[in-house]
Amino acid sequence: MGRELTAPNERLIAAAKLAAAIFFEDETSGSLRAIDVGCDHGKLAIYLVQSGICSHVLASDIGEGPLEKAREAVARRHFKSEPLENYITVRQNDGLCGFDDVPAERIFILGMGGELIASILERAAFLHDPNRKTVCILQAMTSETDLRRYLAAHGFAVLRETLVKDKGRIYSLIACRYDGEERNMSEAELCVGIYHVSHPDKELFLPYIDRKIRILSKKIAQITEAGLLCEADKDVLCELQNLRETAIRNMQKTELQDR
């Protein structure tokens, strides 16, 4: 027999839970099929199957080194007394190119730069179909604002966002699907995510937005010291502070409703 349930880091667990928190009428837990782009050592794919969230995962990566580690990890494990290889396919691939006919209700693109994630979505023409119900779970290590800007401008609706703290850093995970509708959002809303403002995590949201406020405040101070104008940045900072206050009020309303 192979190893028991393999728990990855908190960030990957949160991504799996987010994928399982959204269901359409014809979907059931345990029957979801998924693609994990940039699967690294296959930890997410293994967890998705072993935890009963997915019935099959296509784990892909552009690098042969990580794929070999993923193949080894899958090969030495079992699920329901069967080889885990019956449930997970490991394949070398560039993004989502060539996956047009691969059945998948969930697509994971995690741990990359926001601009790279956006480019992967842009090149996946098969996703740009409003009748398709595929939910993408995204998590940017950098350029999070740019990722949200792409989603808003190119017809991807944000269904839910969640925050997770992993190794001292707070990450935002975005669940979205294509509906073809372009959305107009302010720079501050793109920076922090309006879903977080409406549904703030009582433990993680304030540290999350406060870090963004500190970074922008430092930038403004440096620009001002150099004798340059930064009115646009000041406007964004003001709106971020207003969004912070809105989120606090939403937290207070939720606490009152829960009593």
pLDDT band at residue 233 under the 50/70/90 scheme: very high
pLDDT band at 25 (very low <50, low <70, confident <90, very high): confident
Structure confidence at residue 6 as a pLDDT band (50, 70, 90) = low
Q: What is the mean pLDDT of residues 207-211?
A: 98
Q: Cα torsion for 91, 92, 97, 99, to the nearest 10°?
A: -10
What CA–CA distance (Å, rounded) separates 259 from 253?
10
Angstrom distance (rounded) from CA 196 to CA 202: 10
From the centroid of its chain, how far is CA 192? 14
Q: Are 154 and 119 in contact (CB under 8 A)?
A: no
pLDDT at res. 4: 58
Confidence of residue 130 (pLDDT cuts 50, 70, 90): very high
Query: How far apart are the two ends of the chain, measured CA to CA in Å?
Result: 48
* Torsions phi, psi for 49 (to 5 deg): -80, -50
Other CB atoms within 10 Å distance of the CB of residue 22: 16
Output the DSSP codes for 210-233: HHHHHHHHHHHHHHHHTT---HHH
Q: What is the mean pLDDT of residues 235-252?
A: 98
**How far is it, in rounded angstroms, from Cα 8 to Cα 86?**
20
Q: List the one residue out of 185, 180, 181 whose CA is nearest residue 147.
A: 185
Q: According to the model, what pLDDT value does residue 5 have?
A: 64
Task: Tell me how far apart the alpha carbons of residues 65 and 234 are, in angstroms, rounded to a whole number.
Answer: 45
Highest mean pLDDT among 2-6, 57-61, 253-257: 57-61
2-16, 98-112, 137-151, 170-184: segment of lowest average pLDDT: 2-16
